[in-house]
Chains A and B, each alone.
Chain A
Amino acid sequence: MSNGKDRKIKVIVAKPGLDGHDRGAKLLARVFAEAGMEVIYTGLRQTPEMIVQTAIQEDADVVGISSLSGVHNYFFPKVVQLLRENGLADVLVVGGGIIPAEDIPKLKEAGVAEIFGPGTPTQKIVDFIKQNVRKK
Chain B
Amino acid sequence: MPLTINGTERTFDGDPRTTLLDYLRRDCNLTGTKKGCDHGQCGACTVLINGQRINSCLTLAVMHDGDAITTIEGLGDPQNMHPLQAAFVRHDGYQCGYCTPGQICSAKAMLDEAALGWPSFVTPDITGEVRLTRDEIAERMSGNLCRCGAYSNIVDAIVEIMEAQR
Partners in one complex: no
Which B residues are closer than 8 A to A by beta carbons? none
